[in-house]
Amino acid sequence: MSDQPVALITGANQGIGLQVAKDLAAHNFTVLVGSRDFGKGEVAAQSIGEAAHAIQLDVTDHASITAAAERIRTEFGRLDVLVNNAAISHAGPAGTPMEEILRSNRPSTASLDDVRAVFETNVFGVIAVTPAMLPLLREAPAGRIVNVSSGAGSLTLNADPGFPYRAGFGVVYTASKTALNAVTLAFAIELESTGIKVNAVSPGFTATALNNFSGTETVEQGARQPVRVALDADGPTGTFSGPDGPFPW
């Protein structure tokens, strides 16, 4: 086993995932750039440098997940950090206006096909990828799992009539992040005795392709919290936090 820690970031060929990979590489990690499109992953890895390697990984495809886990075992021999970052906000084409995305999120108008597609990546993808990587994480001296969630998925915040983003809470993207929070806590409880830390983080309203670049923060800002938690080998487990501290579930 190499002395250099290894981190796998899903959906890392662009946006927050790419920035997380860059930041972890700067902290002397070997970073594995998970990307559904291997070519895009290679371009992203090359932009980071020698510490980065592209991994073909479609979180909705069992064969792809299995092959990725096998390659990590064979080629790198360890995995210290898993960042479940891959996510979609809707099933429509790139560049869909935010107004349309928000409208499609409403319970009364949401398409079940849209709900299924988003949950397939944002929720079921995490449930599929995490167990596949657990054998490697169990062998790490301080395994960590970071699930990139969103404060918009907080039930407590959205139950407050004064919450400014409450009108955008619906059954597609935001509900998928609520479900991801539940999945995070479930893994944290199961793995508590192993020492593997499992936490959910909100990057804040970051300008990425996920929201058609309508966010108010840069990817550099958005990556700070996932990176901070990924680096914290002695931190807590089963938490949900954002740029300004803890978030209520």
- Could you tell me the pLDDT band of residue 207, with boundaries at 50, 70 and 90? very low
For the chain, what is the mean pLDDT?
Answer: 91
Q: Inform me whether the pLDDT recorded for 94 exceeds 70.
A: no
**Partners of 83 in the β-ladder:** 9, 146
CA distance 90 to 155: 20
What integer is the mean pLDDT of 188-204?
95
Quickly list H helices, the chain. 15-26, 38-48, 62-71, 98-104, 112-119, 125-139, 155-158, 173-191, 219-231
Summarize the confidence of residues 175-195 as an average pLDDT: 98
Residue 29 and residue 7 in contact, taking contact as beta carbons nearer than 8 Å: yes
DSSP structure class, residue 6: E
Q: What's the confidence (pLDDT) of residue 165?
A: 87
pLDDT tops 90 at residue 40: yes
Q: Is 18 exposed, middle or buried (0-12, 13-18, 19+ CB in 10 A)?
A: buried
Asked whether the predicted pLDDT for residue 208 surpasses 80, the reply is no
* CA pair distance 126, 120, nearest whole angstrom: 9
Q: What are phi and psi of 199, to 5 degrees?
A: -140, 155
Class of domain 6-246: alpha beta
The domain locations on the chain are 6-246
pLDDT digits (tens, 9 = 90+) for 59-87: 999 999 999 999 999 999 999 999 999 99
Distance CA 187, CA 145 (A): 9
Mark whether 197 is an active-site residue.
no
pLDDT reading at 211 higher than 80: no
- Token pair 């799992």 is found at 145
Q: pLDDT tens digit string along 122-169?
A: 999 999 999 999 999 999 999 999 999 999 999 999 999 999 989 889
pLDDT, residue 91, reads 73
Under DSSP, the state recorded for 196 is: -
Mean pLDDT for 104-119 is: 91
> Rounded to an integer, what distance in angstroms lies between the CA atom of residue 20 and that of residue 213?
18
Task: Answer yes or no: is pLDDT of 12 > 60.
Answer: yes
Catalytic residue chosen out of the listed positions 22, 40, 165, 177? 177
Interhelix angle for 219-231 vs 15-26, to 10°? 50
Q: Would residue 165 show up in a list of annotated catalytic residues for this protein?
A: no
Task: Give the model's pLDDT for residue 182.
Answer: 98
Question: Of residues 22, 165, 173, 197, which has the active-site annotation?
Answer: 173
